[in-house]
């Protein structure tokens, strides 16, 4: 870690400075609003927080702040209204702010990787024996892609790592991969519920996590989160966002990303440009996670099908919260060679364009990029609508990268072929109808199934040859892939997505089959057009 980072955002001393900066940013934004817009924002905050606290403790410290805000809205002056709102921002900022401790990080990176790699590696190694090339196919967490490139860029720019989100296991696995790949620490947002365990919460806080309370829906809170992200980036703290927001409940690779935190990259870049900083560049590194089996798959797909995600938004009672299920998953699944595959993609700039490998070309790109946001005098011209358009392009580029960098695993391919077979037998592609189909129509003859599986493998290999997806883990014939998938499906879940019974293959749990199949739904869609701007 650089000395700048040790004295920056997460050092204990400037905690008050961080909160003060968040309040200053919020004040500047609120003072720029019309009276009507200001009233709308404050009423929104009051309504959402009163509704949220109605389900919580009566002695919550926000209650008196909300009373003050309500009084200011009824009879207060404009300045009193803004001050009441800023009191909330200060409380939220203190809650959000992480307590990164360089000393704890150094201890953790000496102790934790040894324990985790002992679990995830076929032959546990001592930490001092680890090298980046150990994160390859002989390990249970397989890391591929542009690691050396990311290391190079981390020395000259601020990085945003933008992974797909599969499981609650993603964060510790990514953290391990970043450390073993000799990348610097990244700050990241973690759900407030994950801090409920005092031991886990203490460690997460001091390893770079800041808190995100997903029960807070007020626009003012979301803007405070974005301000915090901007401050982290402008103080050269590499950041990790899950642009999808939450775990992909359907099992699909993310197709629609949340633009809030993602859009903080272009704002931070422009702030550093306006300040004349030579280290102003911000680059986004896509990272696609692919898992043979997913700990919370049964709960996630159930939530997706019930459309409960809209009302629950955050799942607090899934398998991750059950120690026995977590231990069983670790023992039965994480001993597989292909348990988790992470692929770091080609870095992008905040406009969604690929970053050049050659340093001279990167400098030329940076000069051209300034022209998109600066006027003839070289000064930044702020334009929210323009920046939103650029962020949309970045989101599209990330979605394309997720598909291009995805790894088709035997469980996904086997489920995809099985789903096509039972959909054909059901006479419908409606997932809600297919998951309710009787067992008689979920029996498949091996001959019919292998025809479908072979066609799927051929198509995946053809797509991979054109740069869409990877098939490194699909070894051997269709029979080999089927045998591997059946073994994997029998490792953990209480009911199986696909099982062999006598002379038949049976989709025992159609919901799980749907979940694992959904990882390959990109096969059914045409590729998206590339964003305008820089060439490949």
Alpha carbon dihedral 218, 221, 227, 233, in 10-degree steps, equals: -100
Q: Are 423 and 429 in contact (CB under 8 A)?
A: yes
Q: What is the largest CA-CA distance in the chain?
A: 78
**Claim to verify: residue 357 and residue 505 sit in the same structural domain:** no
Q: Rounded distance, CA 336 to CA 331, Å?
A: 10
Q: What is the pLDDT of residue 91?
A: 94
**Claim to verify: residue 20 and residue 80 sit in the same structural domain:** yes
**Claim to verify: residue 154 and residue 82 sit in the same structural domain:** no
Torsion angles phi and psi, residue 99, rounded to 5 = -120, 55
Q: What is the pLDDT of residue 307?
A: 75
Q: What is the pLDDT of residue 99?
A: 63
Handedness of CA 254, 255, 256, 257 (dihedral sign): positive
Domain termination site, one of 404, 419, 438: 404
**Claim to verify: residue 26 and residue 152 sit in the same structural domain:** no
Q: What is the pLDDT of residue 168?
A: 80
Q: What is the pLDDT of residue 110?
A: 55
**Claim to verify: residue 441 and residue 510 sit in the same structural domain:** yes
Residue 230 inside a domain? The answer is: no
Whole-model pTM: value is: 0.84
Q: Are 177 and 135 in contact (CB under 8 A)?
A: yes
Torsion angles phi and psi, residue 416, rounded to 5 = -60, -45
Residue 119 inside a domain? The answer is: no
Residue 138's Cα: distance from chain center in Å? 26
* pLDDT tens figures, 354-408: 999 999 999 999 999 999 999 999 999 999 999 999 999 999 999 999 999 999 9
Q: What is the pLDDT of residue 188?
A: 81
**Claim to verify: residue 68 and residue 148 sit in the same structural domain:** no
Domain tally, the chain: 3
Residue 143 inside a domain? The answer is: yes
**Claim to verify: residue 41 and residue 157 sit in the same structural domain:** no
Residues of the chain with pLDDT under 50: 1-13, 116-138, 526, 528-536
Strands 239-240 and 158-163: parallel
**Claim to verify: residue 257 and residue 399 sit in the same structural domain:** yes
Q: What is the pLDDT of residue 485?
A: 96
Domain termination site, one of 48, 70, 96: 96
* pLDDT tens figures, 97-135: 866 555 655 555 555 555 544 444 444 444 344 444 444
Residue 532 inside a domain? The answer is: no
**Claim to verify: residue 421 and residue 359 sit in the same structural domain:** no
For residue 289, the enclosing domain spans 131-186+238-404
**Claim to verify: residue 244 and residue 358 sit in the same structural domain:** yes
State the alpha helices, DSSP H only, in 244-378.
Answer: 259-262, 264-274, 297-305, 309-312, 323-332, 359-370
Q: What is the pLDDT of residue 7?
A: 38
Residue 247 inside a domain? The answer is: yes
């Amino acid at each position: 870690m650089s000395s700048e980072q040790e004295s920056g955002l997460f050092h204990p001393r400037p905690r008050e400075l961080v909160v003060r900066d968040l309040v200053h940013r919020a004040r500047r934004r609120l003072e720029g609003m019309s009276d009507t817009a200001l009233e709308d924002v404050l009423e929104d905050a009051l309504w959402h927080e009163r509704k949220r606290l109605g389900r919580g403790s009566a002695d919550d410290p926000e209650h008196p702040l909300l009373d003050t805000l309500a009084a200011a809205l009824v009879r207060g002056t404009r300045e009193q209204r803004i001050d009441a709102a800023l009191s909330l921002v200060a409380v939220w900022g203190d809650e959000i702010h992480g307590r990164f401790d360089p000393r704890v990080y150094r201890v953790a990176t000496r102790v934790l990787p040894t324990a985790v790699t002992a679990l995830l590696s076929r032959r546990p190694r001592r930490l001092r024996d680890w090298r980046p090339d150990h994160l390859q196919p002989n390990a249970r967490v397989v890391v591929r892609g542009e690691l050396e490139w990311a290391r190079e860029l981390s020395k000259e720019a601020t990085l945003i790592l933008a992974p797909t989100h599969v499981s609650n296991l993603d964060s510790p696995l990514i953290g391990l991969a970043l450390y073993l790949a000799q990348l610097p620490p990244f700050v990241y947002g973690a759900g407030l519920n994950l801090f409920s365990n005092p031991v886990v919460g203490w460690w997460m806080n001091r390893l770079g996590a800041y808190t995100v309370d997903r029960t807070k829906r007020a626009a003012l809170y979301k803007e405070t989160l974005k301000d915090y992200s901007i401050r982290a980036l402008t103080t050269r703290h590499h950041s990790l966002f899950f642009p999808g927001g939450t775990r992909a409940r359907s099992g699909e690779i993310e197709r629609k990303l949340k633009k809030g935190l993602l859009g903080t990259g272009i704002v931070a870049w422009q702030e550093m440009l306006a300040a004349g900083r030579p280290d102003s560049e911000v680059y986004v590194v896509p990272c696609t996670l692919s898992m043979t089996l997913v700990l919370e798959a049964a709960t996630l797909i159930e939530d997706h099908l019930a459309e409960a995600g809209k009302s629950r938004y955050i799942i607090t009672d899934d398998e991750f919260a059950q120690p026995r299920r977590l231990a069983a998953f670790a023992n039965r699944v994480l001993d597989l060679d292909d348990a988790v595959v992470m692929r770091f993609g080609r870095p992008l700039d905040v406009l969604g364009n690929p970053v050049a490998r050659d340093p001279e070309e990167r400098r030329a790109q940076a000069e051209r990029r300034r022209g998109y946001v600066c006027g003839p005098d070289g000064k930044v011209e702020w334009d929210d609508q323009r920046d939103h358009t650029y962020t949309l392009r970045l989101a599209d580029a990330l979605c394309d990268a997720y598909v291009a960098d995805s790894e088709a695993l035997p469980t996904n391919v086997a489920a995809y072929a099985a789903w096509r077979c039972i959909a054909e037998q059901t006479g419908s592609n409606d997932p809600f109808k297919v998951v309710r189909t009787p067992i008689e129509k979920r029996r498949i003859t091996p001959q019919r199934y292998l025809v479908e599986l072979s066609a799927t493998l051929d198509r995946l290999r053809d797509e991979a040859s054109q740069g869409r997806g990877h098939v490194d883990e699909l070894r051997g014939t269709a029979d080999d892939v089927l045998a591997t998938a059946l073994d994997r499906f029998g490792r953990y879940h209480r009911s199986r997505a696909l099982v062999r019974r006598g002379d038949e293959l049976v989709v025992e749990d159609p919901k799980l089959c749907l979940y694992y199949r959904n990882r390959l739904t990109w096969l059914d869609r045409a590729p998206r057009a590339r964003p305008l701007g820089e060439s490949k």
